[in-house]
Amino acid sequence: MKYYLSAGFALKLLETPSVYHIREDELYELDDSAFQFLKRCSDPDGCDDCTADSKFVEYCLSEGILTTGPVAVNRPLLLKAPSPSLRYMEFQITDRCNLKCKHCYIGVSGNNDLSIQDIRPILDEFEEMQGLRLLITGGEPLLHGRFNEFNSLLPQYNFRKILFTNGLLLDKTLLKGLNVDEIQFSVDGMEHGHEALRGTGTYSIVRQKIADALDSGIAVSAATMVHMENLDEFENMDALFRDLGIKDWTVDVPCAAGRLKDNPLFQTPPEVAGKYLNYGFVCGLHGGGEGFACGLHLLSVLADGNICKCAFYSDSPVGNIKKGLRKAWGKTGHIKLEELECSALSCKSIDTCRGGCRYRAETKGSSLGRDLYKCCSFDILEKRKEVLE
């Protein structure tokens, strides 16, 4: 009997050798003997190694990791990932947008598109560095002047592709040709809350586009920002998303950047917004790692070609696409939980919270402070007076 690594699975040489189920977003950690066996199975001729552990083979067959028929898949060269590994890349292919959302951290929309000539080597390098998830963002990424050409590149890469969109430009024809594994829609409330932030008429459109995406068979997730006009809508959103079959619902608080600075009425204080961070489900988009604050495995490529540790740090890039991802990744820096102010205060929730958002926590030029929104979500700060102190 010959065994073959199934299509849709990719071997990854991360800190721990692994096999990644791209469509289901599942990472299986392996010991060296299991990894070497699956590596042999990834060969186009398959593997009939009878020395493999029979229980492991049975498990792989039951999980769909292995198949008994030949697989026509282009497998990339396996190279050891840097440590910590770059697993999630926020890829801002354009900063153009068709909306003027009141909370947008970018502010005034730009006119930058990453060129296809620059996009291709970055995708190549991300795969070479054993990347897992490509987060395709903007602006509105569908406004990229050569989006169809960009989309045509995606099938050759063995990582998960997630399109972040407001949904307004999606149509059924485009959906049929999208080479992504997931679409994440921005849904910032029910009708009132969503349109207060994004504009009249946008809610019914995004609801329809979510339905169209689900009908097309593409996995759908949702992202919601907490603001003053949607606070009484979270229970309804929770029921709606579960009923629709949304796979992942992320809830966050917008940072005081871009247009939010000009719309203070939408800014929600920590002691009000904190509890809403306990909504959402799954939320597995780009988690951190044990002992480290957020951003351990994340890097952002911006539409102007700069690279930074996340999009909020656009004013302090660590590199540029002309010099490559690996060089920028080496300059990113990763914060240990023991360095945070939270650790000095002996916070019992630090291993779960991981200190929250470092940009939101930044005070007086230091990124080691407290994310008060996360503190309030864990009910750590009881009084506004303490927050101010």
pLDDT recorded at residue 259: 74
Q: Rounded distance, CA 310 to CA 332, Å?
A: 10
pLDDT recorded at residue 387: 43
Burial code (b: 16+ CB inside 10 Å, e: under 16) for 23-35 equals: eebeebebeeebb
**Secondary structure element (H or E) that encloses residue 373, with its range:** helix 372-377
Q: Rounded distance, CA 218 to CA 347, Å?
A: 40
pLDDT recorded at residue 265: 77
**Secondary structure element (H or E) that encloses residue 152, with its range:** helix 147-153
Q: Is 358 left (phi over 0), alpha (psi -120 to 50) or beta?
A: alpha
pLDDT recorded at residue 97: 94
pLDDT recorded at residue 383: 45
Closest-CA residue to 21 (of 68, 73, 63, 75): 63
Closest-CA residue to 276 (of 373, 150, 187, 139): 373
pLDDT recorded at residue 146: 98
Q: Rounded to two decimals, what is the model's pTM?
A: 0.94
Tokens of 281: 């489900």
pLDDT recorded at residue 364: 57
Q: Which residue has the tokens 């660590």?
A: 318
The CATH class given to the 88-329 domain equals alpha beta
Strand ranges inside the chain, DSSP E:
4-5, 9-13, 17-21, 26-29, 66-67, 88-92, 133-137, 160-165, 182-186, 219-225, 248-252, 298-301, 306-308, 319-320
pLDDT recorded at residue 85: 96
DSSP annotation of 281 reads: B
Closest-CA residue to 120 (of 128, 132, 112): 128
Domain boundaries, the chain: 4-67, 88-329, 337-388
Per-residue pLDDT of the chain (389 residues; tens, 9 = 90+): 899 999 999 999 999 999 999 999 999 999 999 999 999 999 999 998 777 889 999 999 999 999 999 999 989 989 999 999 999 999 999 999 999 888 887 767 779 999 999 999 999 999 999 999 999 999 999 999 999 999 999 999 999 999 999 999 999 999 999 999 999 999 999 999 999 999 999 999 999 999 999 999 999 999 999 999 999 999 999 999 999 999 999 999 987 777 777 787 788 999 999 999 999 998 655 556 788 998 899 999 999 999 999 888 888 999 999 999 999 999 998 999 999 988 888 888 888 888 888 888 876 567 888 999 999 999 887 544 444 44
Tokens of 327: 């060089």
